[in-house]
A and B are shown apart, each in its own frame.
Chain A
Amino acid sequence: MRFDPVIKNFDYFLWGAFPEGPLGGLAMTILLAAVSIFLAFWVGLVFGLMRNSKNRIVRYVAMVYIEVVRGTPLLLLIFWFYFLAPVIVGYSVPELQTTVVALVVFTGAYIAEIVRAGILALPKGQMEAARGSGLSHIQAMRFVILPQSLRNMIPSFVNQFVSLTKDTSLASTIGVLELTRCAEQVSNRTLTAPMEIYLTILVMYFLICYVLTSYSRKLEKQLSRYQARDR
C-alpha cells in the first residue's frame, strides 16, 4: 500500500487549492449538498402540498414532476441541464450552477414525496379539529398540520441529505471540483496509487454520511414518542 500520494494531497482533498485557488474537495461537496438541500426543501414543500391539493390540475402538475424526475437517473438529469442551460439562458452557465439546479430539481421530487406522505400520516382528526375551531384551511396547514408533520419528517430529511451528499459525486462528471473530481485529478497526476486514493475518499464520504445516518436513527426514536395518533 502506497499512501504517500494520499498524505501529500490530503489538504487538496479537504478544501482544494482554497486560499490561493478555487474552493474544492470535501468543503465543496458539503457546500454543494447544503445549498442544494436548502433550496430543494422549499421546492419539495411546494410540490408536496400541490400533490395533496383538491384542485385536479395542480395535483397533476405535481404528479408529473415527481414521477418524471423520480423515473430519470440523476446523471441524465445533470447532462440535460448541462446541455439545455446555455440554450435556454443564451449564454454558457458555469458547471457549479448547473449542478445545483439539477440537484435541487432531483432532490425536490423526493422531498415532495416525503412531505406528501408526512401530511397523510397525520391523523385526520387534526385537520378536522383545526377547521372546527375556526381556522381557515391555510391557517390550519400553517399552524397545526405542518408544524407537526414537518417535525416527524426530520429523520427523512436527514436521510435525503445523506443521499444528496452521495449524489454530489456525480457533479465530477461535468467537471465540478468536488471531492470525487479532486481524487480523480490526484489519481491521474500520480498514476501510482488509485486504490489508496479512492479508498481514502470512500472513507471520507462514509464518515460524514454515517454520522448523519446514525443521527437520523436517534432522532426517529426520540420523535416517535411525541407523535399524534389515531385512537
Chain B
Amino acid sequence: MSGEYADWLVSGVITTLEISALSLLLAMLLGTIVAVMRMTKFKPLEWVGLAFTEFFRNTPLLVQIYFWYYGSNQVLPEAVNKWLYAHDFEFAAGVIALTVYTAAFIAEEIRSGIYSIPKNQLEASRAGGLSFIQAYRYVILPQAFRIIIPPLISQSLNLIKNSSLVMVIGVMDIFYMARQIESYSFHGFEAFTVATLIYLSISLVVSLCINLYNKHFLRQISY
C-alpha cells in the first residue's frame, strides 16, 4: 500500500470530504427553507414542505441517486444538459441527491427543535413587549439552536456515510478508490481496511464531539 495506490486513496478522501461538505452546506439551506415553509400558517406552503420531507425521507437514497443521475436529462433543457455533461455531471448528480435527501431530515430536526420550546416562552416574550421577530431572534431560536445542534451533527455524520453511495454512479470517493485498488492489484483486503478505518475515525471523532457538547452545554437548558 504505497505510491500510486496511496495517492488514489488520498484523492478519494478529498472527494468524499468535498461532496459531503458541499452537500451539507446546501442541505442546511434547503432544510431551513423547508422547515420554515412547514411552520408558516399558509396551507399550500405547509403541504409542499410536508410532501417534500415525507417523500424524500421514505425512499431509498440509492434510488434517488439513480433518479437524478439517469432521469434528470429528460426534464432539463438541452443547453443545461450539454453544460452538465461537459463538466462533472456525476459529482453534480451526487450533490443534488445527497442535498435533497439530507435536507428532508434536517428540516424535521429544525422543526421539532423549535417546537420543543414551550409555547409560553413565546407568549411571555410577546407579553413582555417583544415583537414576533424579536421574540424568535432573542428568545426562541437561541434555545432551539442548542437542542438542534447535536442531531444536526449526527445528520452530517450520516451524510458522510451516505456519500459512499455516490460511487455507484462513478464519483471517485474513498470507496470507489478502494474498489479500484482491489481490481488493479487484488489487495482488496488492505484497501477495504483502510477505507473502513477512515470512515470509522471520522465518525468516532464526530460522536466524541457530540458527547462533549452534550456534557457541557445541554445541561444548561432548563425549563
**Residues in A lying within 8 Å of B, measured CB to CB:** 67-68, 70-76, 79-80, 83, 162, 166-170, 172-173, 180, 183-184, 187, 194-196, 198-199, 201-202, 205-206, 209-210, 213
**Given the complex, which residues of B lie within 8 Å of A180, measured CB to CB?**
60, 62-63, 66
Please determine whether A202 and B59 come into contact, CB atoms closer than 8 angstroms: yes
Please determine whether B70 and A187 come into contact, CB atoms closer than 8 angstroms: yes
B138 at the interface (CB under 8 A from A): no
Please determine whether B58 and A162 come into contact, CB atoms closer than 8 angstroms: yes
Nearest CB on A from B75, distance (A): 7
Please determine whether B58 and A209 come into contact, CB atoms closer than 8 angstroms: yes
If over half of B's interface residues share one DSSP class (helix, strand or loop), that class is named, otherwise mixed; here it is helix
Q: Report Cα–Cα, A187/B74, bound state, in Å.
A: 14
Q: Known: A195-B75, A210-B54. Contact between A71 and B66, CB under 8 A?
A: no
**Residues in B lying within 8 Å of A, measured CB to CB:** 54-55, 57-64, 66-67, 70-72, 74-75, 161-162, 164-165, 167-168, 175, 179, 182, 188-189, 192, 195-196, 199-200, 202-204, 207
Please determine whether A195 and B74 come into contact, CB atoms closer than 8 angstroms: yes
Q: Known: A162-B58, A167-B60, A172-B62. Contact between A198 and B67, CB under 8 A?
A: yes
**Given the complex, which residues of A lie within 8 Å of B203, measured CB to CB?**
70-72
Please determine whether A79 and B192 come into contact, CB atoms closer than 8 angstroms: yes
Please determine whether B62 and A169 come into contact, CB atoms closer than 8 angstroms: yes
**Given the complex, which residues of A lie within 8 Å of B202, measured CB to CB?**
71
Q: Report Cα–Cα, A68/B61, bound state, in Å.
A: 22
**Given the complex, which residues of B lie within 8 Å of A67, measured CB to CB?**
204, 207
Q: Report Cα–Cα, A68/B208, bound state, in Å.
A: 14
If over half of A's interface residues share one DSSP class (helix, strand or loop), that class is named, otherwise mixed; here it is helix
A203 — nearest CB in chain B belongs to which residue? B59
Q: Which of B54, B71, B207 contacts A199 (CB 8 A)?
A: B71
Please determine whether A209 and B200 come into contact, CB atoms closer than 8 angstroms: no
**Given the complex, which residues of B lie within 8 Å of A71, measured CB to CB?**
161, 199-200, 202-204, 207
10 contacts between A and B (CB under 8 A): A67-B207, A76-B175, A80-B196, A166-B59, A168-B60, A172-B62, A195-B67, A195-B71, A206-B55, A213-B58
Q: Known: A180-B60, A202-B63, A210-B58. Contact between A72 and B196, CB under 8 A?
A: yes
Nearest CB on A from B3, distance (A): 23
